[in-house]
Amino acid sequence: MNESELARAWPERLRQALHGVPIVQGLAVQVEPPPHAGTRPDGLADCLIAGEPHRLVIECQLAAQPRQVRGAVAQLAREVERSPVPCQGLLVAPFVSPASRAILAEAGMGWLDLAGNARINFPRLHVEINKTERDPWATKRVQRSLFYPKSARLLKLLLAHPGRSWRVAELAEAAGVSVGQVSNVRQALTEREWAVADAAEGLRLVQAGALLDAWRDAGEKPPTVQLPGYTLLTGAALQSALLAAFADAEKSGARLLLASHSVARRVAPFLRVAGEFFYADAAGLAILQNHLQPQRAPTGANVTVYAAADDGLWQERTPLGTEGLVGTGPVQTYLDLFAGGERSREAAEHWRAETIHKLWETA
């Protein structure tokens, strides 16, 4: 969507929001009105409310992240002060997030977005429509770019230490990514006010929960399955084979981690799901095949081996007892559980409450 498309769309959305309100009459909309007093609002909407003239001053933005909204509030406030009739500022955007709505409401401003959300408030009129809290207009690139694998390395570090301040170079070295990658992530986080950054202290996460919610809601795809298999081993025999496999991986440098429900049932059990889940590189997969002897089983598998989307997955690890078993870290475990279907989502939220929230409380 571009500026001209937004300018064409919002007048009709405004008419729809006010349609059927009996005390509102004579709505007249101006798109890009002529400048006055050195300013140029993006639009004006005049109407009668219970027979008295009222005005909406429009500010259009293609992106309405919290930082950008604060700038719009200042502009709208100046326009409201100049109005000769009762006036409210109205931010128009493709989508206004709940966080941005809260900023606008606190400032006494309204909003209107193309996703169907609206709030217009005068002493004799209150219209509020809440259709969605998720952005249906975001492209996959915009929606998911922050959560691409290399960016994910940075996010996991920040989520593991939410109170810590990081220098750009320090964060880049710890995550194994470029300084430019850190700068891009920093900009995205600060625009959404999930993090703060300054020259003296560096980058610090301030809304860990909001970041994790957005990551979850971005539509994390289930990991790629390398092997769906079936092993005859059960009980103590299976446990012994697992310990031997992880010991071999440790000696050889192969990459092998328990994943998803295999981690959750050992740390914060909630939903009983049969089978064992793993991430493995090629060497780790060979070790598993040697010790568990799984036969390929497209259905009824009790051994599922995933491929890592990025080497950053191996950086975040959860020790599972004292016998050498190791699992994926708290964030990856949460995302994998949530991507596993409706029932697994309950297990994901239990995992989040029992592990991630407690980690944040002690950070």
153-196 confidence digits (pLDDT tens): 999 999 999 889 999 999 999 999 999 999 999 999 998 889 99
Segments of the chain assigned to CATH 3.30.460: 225-362
More confident: 39 or 44: 44
Mind listing the pLDDT tens digit for each residue in 301-360? 999 999 999 999 999 899 998 789 999 999 999 999 999 888 899 999 999 999 999 989
pTM passes above 0.85: no
Output the average pLDDT for the chain: 90
Task: Give pLDDT, residue 35.
Answer: 52
Helix axes 149-160, 179-191, angle to 10 degrees: 70
Does position 241 have pLDDT exceeding 90, yes or no?
yes
Mind listing the pLDDT tens digit for each residue in 261-303? 999 999 999 988 889 999 999 999 999 999 999 999 888 899 9
Q: What gap in Å lies between CA 29 and CA 43, rounded to an integer?
A: 7
Segments of the chain assigned to CATH 1.10.10.10: 140-217
Segments of the chain assigned to CATH 3.40.1350.10: 3-129
Which residues touch 8 (CB under 8 Å, ≥6 apart)? none
Mind listing the pLDDT tens digit for each residue in 131-143? 988 888 664 444 4
What are 221's two structure tokens? 């795809």
Task: Give pLDDT, residue 38.
Answer: 47
Top CATH class, 225-362: alpha beta
Q: For the chain, how big is the Rg over CA atoms in Å?
A: 26
Measured CA angle at 200 (ends 199, 203), to 5 deg? 65
3-129 fold: Trna Endonuclease; Chain: A, domain 1 (3.40.1350)
Q: Which amino acid is at 278?
A: F
Q: Which CATH architecture has domain 140-217?
A: Orthogonal Bundle (1.10)
Q: What gap in Å lies between CA 256 and CA 263, rounded to an integer?
A: 13
